[in-house]
Amino acid sequence: MHKVFLLPVFMLAISVFQANAAILETKGWLETLYVKWDKEACAAKYNVYYQAAGASSWTKIDDPLIREYSDHFRADVLGLKAGSYNVRVVLVNGGSEGAEMTVSNIQVLAHDRSGFAFLGDVVPGAYNADGTLKPNAQIIYITDQNKESVSFTVKTASNATTAATGLLAIVKGIEKGYEDRPLVFRFIGKVTEKDLTLDGGDIAVKGSSNPTATVYVTFEGVGDDAVLYGLGFKTSRARNLEIRNLGFMLTNSDEGDNIGLNTDSRNVWIHNNDMFYGNEGSDADQVKGDGATDAKASTDITIAYNRYWDNGKTHLLGNSSSETPGNITVHHNWYDHSDSRHPRVRKHYVHVYNNYYSGVSTYGIGAVMASSIFAEKNYFSATNRPMMISMQGTDIENGSGTFSKEDGGMIKAFNNFMDASSKTNYKPYSNSNTVEFDAYEVTSATQTVPSNVTAKQGGSTFNNSIIPSGYSYTTENDSAAVRTKVTTYAGRYYGGDFKYTITASNSSMDATLKSRLQSYASGLVKIQETGNVGSVSCPTTSSSSSAPSSSSADETSSSSEETVSIVYSPLNIHSEIPTYYTIKGEPVGSTKPAKPGVYLVKEGSSVKKIVVR
pLDDT at res. 556: 33
Are residues 165 and 190 located together in one domain of the fold?
yes
Are residues 511 and 471 located together in one domain of the fold?
yes
Q: State the chain's maximal CA–CA distance in angstroms.
A: 85
Measured between alpha carbons, how far is 543 from 576 in angstroms, rounded to an integer?
34
- Does residue 361 fall inside a structural domain? yes
* Range list of β-strands (E), 387-502: 387-389, 410-414, 417-418, 440-441
Are residues 270 and 250 located together in one domain of the fold?
yes
- Does residue 279 fall inside a structural domain? yes
Measured between alpha carbons, how far is 78 from 33 in angstroms, rounded to an integer?
7
Cα 434 off chain centre by: 41
pLDDT at res. 398: 85
285: domain CATH number is 2.160.20.10
Distances (CA, A) of 194 to 147, 197, 246: 10, 9, 18
Per cent of the chain over pLDDT 90 is: 74
- Does residue 1 fall inside a structural domain? no
pLDDT at res. 539: 66
Are residues 475 and 564 located together in one domain of the fold?
no
pLDDT digits (tens, 9 = 90+) for 382-391: 999 999 999 9
pLDDT at res. 581: 72
pLDDT at res. 540: 55
Are residues 340 and 442 located together in one domain of the fold?
yes
pLDDT at res. 542: 42
What stretch of H or E contains 140? strand 138-142
pLDDT at res. 564: 35
Q: Domain span at residue 246? A: 116-518
Which pTM was predicted? 0.86
Residues of the chain falling short of pLDDT 70: 1-20, 281-285, 539-577, 583-586, 604-607, 613
pLDDT digits (tens, 9 = 90+) for 26-75: 999 999 999 999 998 889 999 999 999 999 999 999 999 999 999 999 99
51: domain CATH number is 2.60.40.10
pLDDT digits (tens, 9 = 90+) for 282-312: 666 677 777 799 999 999 999 999 999 999 9
Are residues 35 and 131 located together in one domain of the fold?
no
Are residues 545 and 508 located together in one domain of the fold?
no
Q: Name, in order, each residue with C-beta under 8 angstroms of 276's C-beta and a sequence gap of 6 or more.
A: 247, 248, 249, 250, 309, 311, 498, 513, 517
The phi, psi pair for 508, rounded to 5°, reads: -70, 150
- Does residue 4 fall inside a structural domain? no
CB 303 within 8 A of CB 351: no
Structural domain count of the chain: 2
- Does residue 567 fall inside a structural domain? yes
Q: For residue 235, count other CB atoms closer than 10 A to its CB.
A: 25
Among residues 490, 518, 546, which one ends one of the domains? 518
- Does residue 427 fall inside a structural domain? yes
- Does residue 2 fall inside a structural domain? no
Are residues 104 and 202 located together in one domain of the fold?
no
**Residue-wise over 371-398: b if at least 16 C-beta within 10 A, else e?**
bbbbbbbbbbbebbbbbbbbbbbbbbee
Secondary structure of 168-228 in the HEC alphabet?
A: HHHHHHHCCCCCCCCEEEEECCEEECCCCCCECCEEEEECCCCCCCCCCEEEEECCCCCEE
Among residues 518, 546, 568, which one ends one of the domains? 518
Measured between alpha carbons, how far is 467 from 282 in angstroms, rounded to an integer?
39
Are residues 138 and 233 located together in one domain of the fold?
yes
Measured between alpha carbons, how far is 125 from 133 in angstroms, rounded to an integer?
9
Are residues 427 and 570 located together in one domain of the fold?
no
- Does residue 245 fall inside a structural domain? yes
